[in-house]
Amino acid sequence: MPRTHSVVLLSLISLLPAIAQPNRIAGRIDNARRIALQGHVYPKARPENDQGAVDPAFVLPRVTLVLQQSAAEKATLDQLLAEQQDPSSPNYHRWLTPEQYADKFGVSQDDLNQIVTWLSSQNLKVLGVARGRNWVAVSGTAAAIHSAFATEIHDYLVNGKLHFANATAPSIPAALQGVVVAIHGLNDFRMKPS
């Protein structure tokens, strides 16, 4: 290999740690140490509508864990979005591919791997991972959801229609705090247009 190619290759390799996202999950994901995610109980999932727990074998078809950026990444993303709209900026209309977004603003690949491994260990089937590394979708039984997120899924009778929803706020292992910001799909209530 010519010397100039080696220097360029070494220069690129030295940049890799600066490009890669930092890992934010410190240590092992421990189910014994948990934090609740507030604001995750649907307003109509009230005791007066509660018909009891669903069958443990009931399958929730798609539950999505929303992953968030660090505060520094969020600030950098806000800056980039402003620059993409500013005609005087060199970043004007320079859009990112999902993979470029993942490398700059998604969770690290190591963190994503840990999350996917933990979800699989909870008997949840991983349906997909966002190319931007900002969500993971799973499906699983009510029993598996209860094991993973420490919340029971109940039936609720509202306006003559039966719905399912989580009865209490879900929780996640404390190691995921600040990385997993929301869980969608724990109920089948749909927002009505205003």
What DSSP string describes 17-39? HHHSPPP---S---TTSEEE-TT
Tens of pLDDT along 40-70? 999 999 999 999 999 999 999 999 999 998 7
State the Cα–Cα distance between residues 39 and 166, nearest whole angstrom.
Answer: 12
Decide: pTM greater than 0.85.
no
For the chain, the domains span 31-69+106-194, 70-97
Predicted local distance difference test score (pLDDT) of residue 13: 33
State the Cα–Cα distance between residues 145 and 34, nearest whole angstrom.
Answer: 15
State the Cα–Cα distance between residues 67 and 130, nearest whole angstrom.
Answer: 10
Give the angle 175-181-184 at the CA atoms, nearest 5°.
120
Q: Which residues have a Cβ under 8 Å from the Cβ of 84 and sit 6 or more positions away?
A: 91, 92, 93, 94, 95
Q: What is the mean pLDDT of each run of 10 residues along the chain (194 residues)?
A: 40 41 88 95 96 98 94 83 89 87 90 97 97 96 98 97 97 96 95 59
